[in-house]
Amino acid sequence: MARFLIVPQWQGSSSARAMQLVDGAEAIAGDLPRAACTMIEVPAEAGEDLGTGVRRLSTLRRVRELVEEAVRHAEEPLIVVGGDCGVAAGAVAATAGDDLAVVWMDAHADLNSPESSLSGAFHGMVLRAILGEGPEGLALPAGAVTPARVVLVGTRDLDPAEAAFVEEAGIRMLPTDALDDPAQLVAAVAATGARRIHIHIDLDVLDPSAITGIGFPVPFGADPVALVAALRALREAFPVAGATITEFAPASPADAASDLGTILRLVGALA
């Protein structure tokens, strides 16, 4: 798998530094083979919430449509480079099926609903939308992905409403140190019954000591070497239907340069 879809979407983020997600997407793309990259034109305007409780919904909906279409018509699985985590909705919508599991590697669960979200930022609701709940045009059809086919990995900062949902829906959640034992991770994914996987990486799954360009750092994250080994183990065990790598928001070109080595190792483990 070595084709990339570059999606510099920032509208799903609540960070004051959201625009740096555009710089992040461009910095990663700049280090990938140009011929292997397709760029999605993200509208410049913020967009309107249209009374849904999701900020900038109109733009997010347009980008979701463009991403879904590009992934659906691609001849091979794509690695979608964000942008904020919200880019995963279109990517998973295009490949969902009852044989697909979603492996969500993220410090946060991204499981808020528009009602429970305090920020109105879609990147905190995207996994819930993948599970079929959320505004029309963002949420996947109900049942396209079920909670039984989601595995959260390295998730360590949940809002109370998200923790309650994880519990109630019975979503599998593995702590950061499960990455040190790739067999445990592979077994948890196999237990979903899925035959193909989508791998989602929010770079904040990494420990803040390993990456500087993230908007929402959470301590006690993953070691990049362990994460690379875990990605390789997943790829050996399951066909990869698609991947997302998101939330790179470097403060400056110098900061971007210092993180790119780590990010490209993760990309290499996916490609």
Looking at residue 242, its amino acid is G
Per-residue contact flags (x/-) with Mn ion for residues 206 to 245, judged by CB under 5 A: ----------------------------------------
> Taking CB under 5 A as the rule, does residue 110 contact Mn ion?
yes
Q: Nearest to residue 221, comparing CAs of 171, 153, 124?
A: 153
CA distance 65 to 137: 8
Tell the smallest beta-carbon distance from residue 199 to Mn ion (Å): 13
- Stretches 48-56, 64-72, 151-159, 199-207: which one binds Mn ion (CB under 5 A)? 199-207
- Stretches 29-37, 38-46, 102-110, 183-191: which one binds Mn ion (CB under 5 A)? 102-110
Given a contact cutoff of 8 angstroms between Cβ atoms, the answer to whether 244 and 78 are in contact is no
Write the CA distances from 101 to 13, 55, 196, integer angstroms: 25, 28, 6
Tell the smallest beta-carbon distance from residue 106 to Mn ion (Å): 4
Q: Which letter, b or e, does each residue of 65-102 get, where b requires 16 or more Cβ atoms within 10 Å of its Cβ?
A: ebbbebbeeeeebbbbbbbbbbbbbbbbbbbbeeebbb
Q: Which is nearer to Mn ion, 133 or 202 (CB)?
A: 202
> Taking CB under 5 A as the rule, does residue 162 contact Mn ion?
no
- Stretches 27-35, 54-62, 101-109, 136-144: which one binds Mn ion (CB under 5 A)? 101-109
Among 23, 162, 202, 255, binds Mn ion (CB under 5 A): 202
CA distance 95 to 142: 15
> Taking CB under 5 A as the rule, does residue 84 contact Mn ion?
no
Given a contact cutoff of 8 angstroms between Cβ atoms, the answer to whether 221 and 202 are in contact is no
> Taking CB under 5 A as the rule, does residue 145 contact Mn ion?
no
Given a contact cutoff of 8 angstroms between Cβ atoms, the answer to whether 81 and 33 are in contact is no
Given a contact cutoff of 8 angstroms between Cβ atoms, the answer to whether 243 and 200 are in contact is yes
Among 28, 62, 79, 106, binds Mn ion (CB under 5 A): 106
**Cα atoms in the Cβ-side hemisphere of radius 13 Å centred on 63:** 32
Q: Which is nearer to Mn ion, 218 or 233 (CB)?
A: 218
Among 18, 25, 79, 85, binds Mn ion (CB under 5 A): 85
Q: Which is nearer to Mn ion, 193 or 219 (CB)?
A: 219
Q: Which is nearer to Mn ion, 16 or 44 (CB)?
A: 16
Q: Which is nearer to Mn ion, 202 or 259 (CB)?
A: 202
Residue with tokens 């400056």: 252
Summarize as ranges the residues that interact with Mn ion (CB under 5 A).
85, 106, 108, 110, 202
